[in-house]
Amino acid sequence: MPRTPSSEAPRPVAPARPRRLELQLSPPDNRRLANLCGALDDNLRQIETAYDVAIARRGETLTLHGELAKIHAARNALQAFYRRADQPLTVEDLQLGLIELAKQDATSPAAPTLLTRRTELHGRTPRQNEYLRAIQSHDITFGLGPAGTGKTYLAVACAVDAFEREQVQRIILTRPAVEAGERLGFLPGDLTQKVDPYLRPLYDALYDLMGFDRVAKMFERQCIEIAPLAFMRGRTLSNAFIILDEAQNTTPEQMKMFLTRIGIGSRAVVTGDLTQIDLPRGHKSGLLDAVKTLSDVRGIAYTQFAKEDVVRHPLVARIVDAYERAAASSSRPEEAR
């Protein structure tokens, strides 16, 4: 019996062929071309990884292979970096520039300007700029999201900016001393020396934004204080910029204690990643509790970062995405066999 048209098997769809595009960089400039490509074309490899394309170079002609949308995006990036390549481009220049290009939005408000040693410091994504504006306009701000989104670094930058503008008299940085798979008791020294490694990211941000010598002098004058959260109990912190980092590892009681330390003329930023809670099983996160409890309280701002806001190596965003997919897959109920 002959098959009717409705019974015919559908024809397989042929996969889209990779496209090819040639880019002639102009105006011709060998020095600018060398700065764009980097040593052994390392900068081109960074762009290949970011856009999932292949780039071949012959003189000032670059040939791009890949999906149509991706090679057009890579072409725009190459042209943008070529215009900036009057000086050698570092890995940081490439990675931050790629993030800016991916997040460009002509309708976004201008990025806030911060007074730090890093004069070029600004938000690299629309959500980072939203976070900076929230910190500058609210007494308490929560920054939530995965690693690499700039939650802590930008909060420290805002603290330095507020101090430089004489809006606050001191900077106080704190975080809970909760082990991530290790035990404090195995570390040498007294309590202060034991918790010091947990506060190291805060030191690093300060040194980068103010310089080692200036930070050391401010510690001597007690204009900067870094301490574990347990040291905050019983204090009232006035005219200060206070940052609570790794807040997902606080208990609800600790979070309440911290938020009630804030005095007149102070501003607080609470940062954390609810996917990296290191509390013992059965203990509720104070950050999760605070977000739910304080959601209707006026004067508190919330910024929820996503993997698109990661400003580290381009692979970090892909790693975060892979873990999110794995978590979503494991949370689904098993299909009936």
* Residue-wise DSSP of 115-150: -SS-TT---SSHHHHHHHHHHHH-SEEEEE--TTS-
Q: How confident is the model at residue 337 (pLDDT cuts 50, 70, 90)?
A: very low
pLDDT for position 216: 93
Q: What confidence category does residue 188 fall into, taking pLDDT thresholds of 50, 70 and 90?
A: low
* CA triple 90-93-97, angle to 5 deg: 150
The stretch 153-170 carries a mean pLDDT of 94
Average pLDDT, stretch 228-236?
85
Binning pLDDT at 50, 70 and 90, where does residue 213 land? Answer: very high
Structural domain boundaries in the chain: 19-102, 126-327
Average pLDDT over residues 162-186: 76
Phi–psi pair at 302, nearest 5 degrees: -130, 130
Integer angstrom CA distances of residue 154 from 9, 107, 148, 209, 226: 57, 22, 11, 10, 17
**Rounded (10°) CA dihedral 292, 295, 299, 305:** 80
Read off φ and ψ for residue 129, nearest 5 degrees.
-65, -35
| Mean pLDDT confidence for 296-302 | 91
Q: What is the pLDDT of residue 106?
A: 45
Distance of alpha carbon 238 from alpha carbon 66, whole angstroms = 57
R_g of the chain, CA atoms, integer Å: 25
pLDDT of 313 higher than 70: no
Kindly report, residue by residue over 1-56, the tens digit of the pLDDT. 455 554 455 555 444 555 888 888 888 888 989 999 988 888 898 888 888 899 99
Do domains 19-102 and 126-327 share one topology? The answer is: no
Residue for token pair 């856009």: 51
- d(C-alpha 335, C-alpha 322), whole Å: 22
Rounded distance, CA 140 to CA 20, Å? 51
User: What CATH architecture is 126-327?
Assistant: 3-Layer(aba) Sandwich (3.40)
Length of the chain: 337
pLDDT digits (tens, 9 = 90+) for 241-285: 999 999 999 999 999 999 999 999 999 999 999 988 888 888 899
State the maximum Cα–Cα separation within the chain, in Å, rounded to a whole number.
95
Average pLDDT rounded to a whole number, residues 324-337: 67
Among 92-106, 145-159, 231-245, whose mean pLDDT is lowest?
A: 92-106
Rounded average pLDDT over 232-239: 88
Q: Which fold has domain 19-102?
A: Ribosomal Protein S8; Chain: A, domain 1 (3.30.1370)
Please name which of 299, 272, 311 lies closest in space to residue 135, comparing C-alpha atoms: 299
* Mean pLDDT along residues 175-191: 58
| pLDDT digit string, tens, across residues 81-138 | 998 888 888 877 887 787 777 766 544 556 677 888 887 777 878 899 999 999 999 9
| Least reliable range by pLDDT among 57-61, 193-197, 207-211 | 193-197
Amino acid occupying residue 138: H
CA distance 127 to 110: 12
Mean residue pLDDT of the chain comes to: 83
Structure tokens at 247: 């807040």
CA–CA separation, 202 vs 156, rounded Å? 8
Q: Before 27, cis peptide (omega within 30)? A: yes
Instruction: State the pLDDT at residue 229.
Output: 87
| DSSP codes joined into one string, 145-174 | --TTS-HHHHHHHHHHHHHHTTS-SEEEEE
pLDDT of residue 199: 79
Out of 18-22, 62-66, 100-104, 322-326, which region has the weakest mean confidence (pLDDT)? 100-104
How far is the C-alpha of 69 from the C-alpha of 54, rounded, in Å?
13
pLDDT value of position 57: 87
The pLDDT-based confidence of 336 (bands split at 50, 70, 90) is very low
Residue 174 pairs with which residues in a beta bridge? 227, 244
Q: What is the pLDDT of residue 330?
A: 78
User: Rounded distance, CA 129 to CA 127, Å?
Assistant: 5
